[in-house]
């Protein structure tokens, strides 16, 4: 087992990880004195399959968002309220990533939306191969119906998920108010590789030391193109409406391209 991130070294999956953008390589079971450079080949293979995934999503006109965050940032809760708000307007599917259990997928299914749970068995991220298999399972569950919007809820982790392309159109990084404002500085890859930064649980701002301006400034310093949205999913409000309009706009752009 990889001591840095917990990904299994045996079984059905093979993983290599780049931590903090430095390209660290983990090899398991190599003969003494032998150097095995797996970084380039494994990431190239993942990126190639991610491009295949992206081409497939484009062909069927599905907008795909990859949600990454630490555990407890509110990804699943955000999806539940998003589904409630957009049900009947957009066709939504969800791929859930967790180390174990079907709990998050069950919460999504309870909203009447098809969901596939990918349990990694210890791996700290989803990869393009998992998404390729998971999406085909989701399509079977859909019965061939069109999907306008596909959410991929990645494993709770701000390190490895930021490194693995899945074929998504947009990557969304979430930080909740109780986590503190220092996440952009501590986990820069998650922000430089994302398109949108959600500051969640803003209803808790009176109770936590979370200077929104500081977190926003540090995130935009890393990625000036980042869109920042402050919201409280459980109570709706202006920030949540901004999130919904962001999703509607992405779907509208996709439909315009595929006409």
List domains and CATH numbers for the chain: 39-258 (3.40.50.300)
| Sign of the torsion formed by the C-alpha atoms of 216, 219, 223 and 228 | negative
pLDDT tens over the chain, length 259 residues: 333 344 543 334 433 333 333 333 333 344 455 554 566 778 899 999 999 999 999 999 999 999 999 999 999 999 999 999 999 999 999 999 999 999 999 999 999 999 999 999 888 999 999 999 999 999 998 877 899 999 999 999 999 999 999 999 999 999 999 999 999 999 999 999 999 999 999 999 999 999 999 999 999 999 999 999 999 999 777 899 999 999 999 999 999 998 7
Q: Is residue 86 within 8 Å of residue 247, measured between CB atoms?
A: yes
Write down the residue that tokens 């390209």 correspond to. Answer: 23
Q: Is residue 86 within 8 Å of residue 244, measured between CB atoms?
A: yes
pTM listed for this prediction? 0.85
């Amino acid at each position: 087992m990889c001591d840095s991130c917990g990904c299994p070294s045996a079984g059905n999956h093979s993983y290599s990880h780049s931590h903090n953008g430095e390209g660290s390589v983990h090899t398991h079971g190599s003969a003494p004195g032998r150097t095995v450079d797996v970084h380039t080949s494994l990431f190239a293979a993942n990126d190639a399959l991610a491009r295949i995934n992206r081409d497939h999503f484009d062909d069927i006109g599905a907008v795909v968002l990859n949600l990454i965050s630490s555990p407890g940032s509110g990804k699943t809760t955000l999806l539940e309220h998003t589904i409630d708000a957009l049900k009947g307007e957009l066709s939504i599917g969800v791929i859930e990533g967790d180390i174990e259990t079907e709990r998050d997928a069950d919460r999504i299914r309870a909203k009447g939306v098809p969901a596939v749970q990918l349990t990694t068995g210890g791996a700290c991220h989803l990869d393009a191969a998992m998404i390729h298999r998971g999406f085909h399972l989701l399509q079977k569950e859909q019965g061939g119906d069109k999907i306008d919007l596909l959410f991929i809820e990645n494993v709770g982790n701000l390190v490895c998920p930021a490194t693995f392309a899945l074929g998504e159109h947009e990557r969304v990084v979430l930080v909740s108010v109780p986590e503190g404002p220092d996440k952009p500085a501590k986990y820069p890859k998650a922000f430089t590789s994302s398109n949108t930064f959600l500051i969640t649980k803003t209803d808790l701002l009176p109770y936590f030391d979370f200077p929104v301006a500081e977190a926003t400034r540090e995130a935009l310093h890393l990625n000036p193109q980042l869109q920042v949205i402050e919201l409280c999913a459980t109570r709706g409000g202006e920030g949540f409406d901004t999130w919904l309009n962001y999703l509607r706009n992405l779907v509208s752009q996709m439909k315009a391209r595929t006409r």
